[in-house]
Structures are given as C-alpha cells and as structure tokens.
C-alpha cells in the first residue's frame, strides 16, 4: 500500500472543474465523467468486447482471453458463470464503456464473462426505469437458459445500488436469485440520512451533499426517497438475498450507505462481507494499475465471485444427484 498513491489520486479528483459556476447541465456532467473514466486502465490484452443486446437494451459483452492465474489463452468452459454488471453514474450518467476498467478487471481476474448493461438514464427516464431494465436483463438471461446459481450481480455506485435492488425486484417477482451480489461503493439511501453525508464532507474528493442531491432529484423525479428500491439500506426488507460483498472507501460521504446496508443485511440473515479500505475515495477500484489498494480489492472481489459461483453450482449439482 502506498500513501503517496492515495494522495496522488485524491489530488487528481480534486482538480478544479474548468466549467461554469453553479450546477452543471446533464450534458456537461456526462461529458466530464466520460473524460475522467477514459483515463482509467483497462486490461485490453486480457479481454475482448462485443456490443450486444440484453432484455431489449444495449449491452457490452466482455469475455476473458486468458486464464486469470496463468495469463495463457482461456480454456474455461462456456456457461461456467456470468457476471451481470451495472455501471455507476448516479442513474444520470455513465455507460458500459465508462465502467470497462471495472468490468474488464473483474472478467480478467475471474475468468467469468460479463454483460454490462446500458440501462436507461434520468432525467429522460427517471425511477423506476433503471430497475425495470436491469430486471428485464436478468429475466433475459434466465429465459435463455442461464442457471441463476451461475449468475452474479455486480455494480459500482448507482450500479452497486442496482445490484441490490434488482435482487429485491427479482425476489418480489418470484424469480430465482443469483448466486451473489458484489457492490462497489453502492448508492443505497436516497434519503441521504447517513451520518457520513456530513462527517465526510470535505474529506470526500468527489461528492458533496449538494452534488448528490442535484443528480438524485433527476432520478427521483418526485418519487418518495423512502421507497425500498431507492433506499434499501434503511427501508427494504433484505430477507432472502444472496451472499453479498460490499466494498467501500473510508473517505466517502456515501460510506454509511454501505455500513447500514451491511448491518441490515446481516440482521436479515444474509451472508454479507463489509470490506472498508482506509483513505480511499468512491469506487477506488477503478484506479487498478495505479493504486495498490484498488488491485488488492479487485483480487478480493474476484475471489468472492469465483467462490460463490462454485459453491452455488456445487449445491445445485448435489441436489440434482439426490434420488427422488
């Protein structure tokens, strides 16, 4: 771990915005985010990508080209597992392309292919459009014969929140749930009542309460922020959800979105791991190749996903072998 690396990342994220004073337009927010994420390192030598569709929405198919442990050409069997990935961006900006440093690193480290979904964004398509799209994508995987025990949900920021709420929507729709949920710095409290919203103000190099409320209002569009699919960390019944790994940085105003989600999930009987890394910002994992903590966190995340897919598929095979 490098203190110098963490300081450098913090400085990069605090660079003044050259745009006009006051709240930025949606177009400016989206352009600025694309520019920032274009600077992230993507493991192009270990993945291949292909545009596709899933559940009626555009998606990016990301596949490994090398074994995660050897760097040799992949010999993984098709159907060994699938990551369904939801990108971040406050439900207002972002895309499968801006999340490729995260999706690509998970695919390269696990050997599992992924679908990264281009769900509809606010303000053009406010709540619940994004969840309708993510649930439709999951239904499409199931309809095409994918084993839910070999599917894992993953996402960052708003997409981390969607990984959780899509599970809730699937459960309530009577669908079988995926093997696991991986959430990087998930947004899980639209009420903004976590203490870290105030205690981490200024410490967080990316977000302020005002910025989050600016984009959050676009997504809510008048909806009650206490809705369970908007604030699962404080208002959802999490009973029955699959095992979860929540990774978050200690310097985030959204820290309590993760800590309270983990506490409620544990109280509901969910197998949950809360992984907090000191002195790092929101979705620090996207700085893989630059920040040691990012690579280490991605290694832990990849191990979790591989273990959950293996464990879930082994249970399914065991049940199938039981005489009836």
pLDDT tens digit sequence for 39-50: 999 999 999 999
DSSP 232-283: HHHH---TTPPPEEEEEETT-TTHHHHHHHHHHHHHTT--EEEEEETT--TT
What pLDDT is attached to residue 182?
A: 99
Q: Which of 101, 116, 235, 282 is catalytic?
A: 282
Selected catalytic residue, list 157, 196, 231, 258: 157
Burial (Cβ within 10 Å: 0-12, 13-18, ≥19) of residue 292: middle
Question: What mean pLDDT value characterizes the chain?
Answer: 92
Average pLDDT of the residues in 235-259: 98
Question: Would residue 157 show up in a list of annotated catalytic residues for this protein?
Answer: yes
Q: What is the mean pLDDT of residues 11-29?
A: 78
pLDDT level of residue 319 (50, 70, 90 thresholds): low
- Can you give the pLDDT at residue 76? 41
Assess whether pLDDT exceeds 80 at residue 5. yes
- Tell me the mean pLDDT in the region 71-88: 70
pLDDT confidence of residue 75: 37
- pLDDT of 324 strictly over 50: no
Which of the following is catalytic: 116, 132, 252, 258? 252
Going by pLDDT thresholds of 50, 70 and 90, the confidence category of residue 251 is very high
Are 284 and 291 contacting, i.e. CB atoms less than 8 angstroms apart?
Answer: yes
Active site residue 282: yes
pLDDT confidence of residue 15: 81
Q: What average pLDDT does range 295-319 have in this prediction?
A: 85
Check residue 72 and give its pLDDT. Answer: 47
Is the pLDDT at 180 greater than 70? The verdict is: yes
Structure tokens at 139: 């239904």
DSSP 73: B
Per residue in 126-145, pLDDT (tens digit) is 999 999 999 999 999 999 99
The pLDDT of residue 102 is: 98
Instruction: Measure the CA–CA gap between 110 and 113, rounded to whole angstroms.
Output: 8
pTM of the model: 0.93
Average pLDDT value for residue range 166-171 = 98
pLDDT over 70 at 317, yes or no: no
**Cβ burial, residue 124 (10 Å; 0-12/13-18/19+):** exposed
- Could you tell me what percent of the chain has a pLDDT over 70? 90
Q: What per-residue confidence (pLDDT) applies to 74?
A: 45
- With 0-12 / 13-18 / 19 or more C-beta atoms within 10 angstroms meaning exposed / middle / buried, residue 66 is middle
């Amino acid at each position: 771990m490098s203190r110098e690396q963490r300081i450098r990342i913090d400085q990069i994220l605090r660079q003044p915005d050259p745009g006009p004073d006051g709240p930025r337009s949606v177009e400016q927010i989206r352009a600025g985010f694309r520019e920032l994420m274009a600077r992230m390192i993507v493991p192009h030598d270990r993945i291949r990508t292909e545009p596709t569709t899933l559940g009626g929405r555009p998606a990016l198919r990301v596949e490994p080209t090398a074994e995660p442990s050897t760097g040799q050409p992949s010999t993984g069997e098709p159907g060994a597992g699938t990551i369904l990935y939801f990108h971040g961006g406050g439900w207002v900006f972002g895309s499968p392309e801006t999340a490729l440093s995260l999706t690509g690193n998970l695919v390269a480290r696990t050997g599992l292919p992924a679908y990264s979904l281009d769900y509809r964004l606010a303000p053009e398509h406010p709540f619940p459009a994004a969840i309708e799209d993510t649930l439709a994508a999951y239904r499409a995987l199931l309809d095409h014969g994918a084993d839910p025990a070999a599917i894992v949900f993953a996402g960052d920021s708003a997409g981390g929140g969607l990984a959780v709420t899509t599970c809730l929507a699937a459960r309530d729709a009577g669908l079988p749930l995926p093997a696991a949920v991986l959430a990087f710095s998930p947004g899980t409290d639209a009420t903004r009542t976590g203490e870290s919203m105030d205690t981490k103000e200024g410490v967080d190099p990316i977000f302020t309460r005002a910025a989050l409320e600016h984009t959050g209002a676009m997504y809510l569009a008048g909806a009650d922020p206490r809705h369970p699919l908007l604030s699962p960390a404080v208002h959802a019944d999490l009973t029955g959800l699959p095992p979860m790994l929540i990774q978050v940085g200690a310097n985030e105003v959204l820290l309590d979105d993760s800590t309270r989600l983990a506490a409620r999930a544990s109280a509901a009987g969910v197998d949950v791991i809360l992984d907090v890394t000191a002195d790092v910002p929101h979705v620090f994992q996207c700085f893989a190749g630059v920040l040691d903590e990012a690579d280490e966190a991605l290694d832990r995340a990849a191990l979790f996903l591989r273990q959950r897919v293996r464990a879930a598929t082994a249970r399914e095979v065991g049940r199938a072998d039981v005489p009836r």
